[in-house]
Amino acid sequence: MERNELYVGGSWVTPSTSSRGENVDSNTEEHLGSYALAGPEEVDRAVAAARATLNDRNGWAGYSPQQRAAVMRRFADAIERQRDAIGGLISREVGTPFERSRFSNADTASSLLRFYADIIASTELEDLRPAGRGHSLVRREAIGVVGMIAPWNFPLSTLFFKLAPALAAGCTAVIKPASLTALNSFLIADAAAEAGIPAGVINILPCDRATGDHLIGHPGIDKIAFTGSTPVGRKIGRMCGENLKPVTLELGGKSAALLLEDASVDTLISELHDLSFSNNGQACTNNSRLIVPDVLYDDVVDAVAAEVNRWKVGNSFDPETVIGPVVSAGHRESIERYYRIAREEGGRAVAGGNAVTGRGFFVEPTVFADVTPDMTIFREEVFGPAVSITRYSGDLEEGIDLANDSEYGLSGAVYTADETLGIETARRIETGTVAYNMSNFDIGAPFGGRKNSGVGFELGAEAIIPYLHYKTIFTPQVPAGF
């Protein structure tokens, strides 16, 4: 897959730079494809195109909510027609097992487009409210041109967390895909062209970090939406703060599943993969810390180790594979470094933890027992197929304190047979989402982080709000049409 042009202003254009990026197959380490990289000139051109259609009453700005919804549904149809190609390519880029890749990327993207199309089609642009004097006409307007920066782990679903509500709100977008997984973004550009997305509404620019900074600081960009690491998120936050530019940041996580003394070990094991090892461990929402009471500790350690040892590590297209490769050689080395540190600091590897030889970026899924809060693996995000198990006395307050003992606050879980206690405990976990006796992710409910896990939220009907300006028009009488 060799792509030599960039999708800007509704057309495929030759970039001003000769620089190129390359992606490799995470299963085999073989060349997967290369693509043109954008430079600052392409960013300027894309921002101009996005702003032109935003301001043109015959362009995107002139579309009614119902017309925008119709375009979004065509876009969803075009993505669905490419679901196998999209899922397969991302499975090679990221290592996600194929069925999961197709569902969590292509299917999620099309579902988000339809979800927000339905919402905006039934949303009034204006509502009239009685005021102390006269009336207030409250109007919803698009925030403008949005710069979107997507991560590599779920490159399409996380992009459409931003793009779908932004399109529904009437915004236009300039998108920077992650370099490690940029090839799949060209399939989305193909789908946008096929769906007849108006010129300039969607612009997709793979680029290096310096050009990405140019996008973030561009005066024609009205908002930035970013998913990625906490250090990069801090830098973006500073840049946006300097320019008083709204920003949404979905960042890292080090989430904990807290087991109470009456928790079902069988229920935990039935949920373990999606709870703690989703996407080969490459998911910020994974509950990579298990907080376990004394009375269950040995049983949990044995059961988790046995379950993880049972999983097949292999090619992402093998239907029996549970854990595929990770995204790159560099990421594999980072994960293995965390494994070494965990051992050095006293963690006991009860499953996995060994290097995998041969071609492909494979890492053994690993379980560390006897982990204490002072250890690196308790504190830092490994972003790989690893879980740590930490013992506590069984006192509820101690367990909650351990679950909350993190600079992150993105996800979490509580396991107990007592539903009332479980929900009440979940309310006390300092994090954006918490599951009770399960693992789950719902596009219909808000998702966002606390502490170092981010600023703002995505998903749910509420996610349109960050892409809107509200304008109030005072009027002494009821306007015509109301």
Residue 112 and residue 164 in contact, taking contact as beta carbons nearer than 8 Å: yes
Residue 276 and residue 288 in contact, taking contact as beta carbons nearer than 8 Å: yes
CA distance 234 to 241: 10
pLDDT digits (tens, 9 = 90+) for 378-437: 999 999 999 999 999 999 999 999 999 999 999 999 999 999 999 999 999 999 999 999
Instruction: State the Cα angle at 161 between 58 and 188, rounded to 5°.
Output: 65
Q: What is the pLDDT of residue 356?
A: 86
Question: Per-residue confidence of the chain (482 residues) as pLDDT tens digits?
Answer: 899 999 999 999 999 999 999 999 999 999 999 999 999 999 999 999 999 999 888 889 889 999 999 999 999 999 999 999 999 999 999 999 999 999 999 999 999 999 999 999 999 899 999 999 999 999 999 999 999 999 999 999 999 999 999 999 999 999 999 999 999 999 999 999 999 999 999 999 999 999 999 999 999 999 999 999 999 999 999 999 999 999 999 999 999 999 999 999 999 999 999 999 999 999 999 999 999 999 999 999 999 999 999 999 999 999 999 999 999 999 999 999 999 999 999 999 999 988 788 899 999 999 999 999 999 999 999 999 999 999 999 999 999 999 999 999 999 999 999 999 999 999 999 999 999 999 999 999 999 999 999 999 999 999 999 999 999 999 999 999 88
CA distance 379 to 372: 10
CA distance 456 to 366: 32
The residue annotated as part of the active site, out of 42, 124, 141, 250, is 250
CA distance 343 to 250: 30
CA distance 361 to 309: 19
Residue 294 and residue 420 in contact, taking contact as beta carbons nearer than 8 Å: no
The radius of gyration of the chain's CA atoms, rounded to the nearest angstrom, is 23
Residue 24 and residue 359 in contact, taking contact as beta carbons nearer than 8 Å: no
Task: For residue 42, indicate whether it is catalytic.
Answer: no
- Region(s) of the chain under CATH 3.40.309.10: 256-442
Query: pTM of the predicted model, to two decimals?
Result: 0.96
Helix axes 230-242, 209-217, angle to 10 degrees: 40
CA distance 175 to 177: 6
Name which CATH class applies to 2-251+453-475. Answer: alpha beta
CB neighbour list of residue 354: distance below 8 Å, 6 or more residues apart = 364
DSSP collapsed to 3 states, the chain: CEECCEEECCEEECCCCCCEEEEECCCCCCEEEEEECECHHHHHHHHHHHHHHHHCCCCHHHCCHHHHHHHHHHHHHHHHHCHHHHHHHHHHHHCCCHHHHHHHHHHHHHHHHHHHHHHHHCCCCEEEEECCCCEEEEEEEECCEEEEECCCCCCCHHHHHHHHHHHHHCCEEEEECCHHHCHHHHHHHHHHHHHCCCCCCEEECCECHHHHHHHHHCCCCCEEEEECCHHHHHHHHHHHHHCCCCEEEECCCCCEEEECCCCCHHHHHHHHHHHHCHHHHCCCCCCCEEEEEHHHHHHHHHHHHHHHHHCCECCCCCCCCCECCCCCHHHHHHHHHHHHHHHHCCCEEEECCCECCCCCCCECCEEEECCCCCCHHHHCCCCCCEEEEEEECCCHHHHHHHHHCCCEECCEEEECCCHHHHHHHHHCCCCCCCEECCCCCCCCCCECCEECCEECCECCHHHHHHHEEEEEEEECCCCCCC
- Region(s) of the chain under CATH 3.40.605.10: 2-251+453-475
The residue assigned the tokens 């996995």 is 352
CATH topology assigned to domain 256-442: Aldehyde Dehydrogenase; Chain A, domain 2 (3.40.309)
pLDDT digits (tens, 9 = 90+) for 152-175: 999 999 999 999 999 999 999 999
CA distance 26 to 325: 6
Residue 370 and residue 308 in contact, taking contact as beta carbons nearer than 8 Å: no
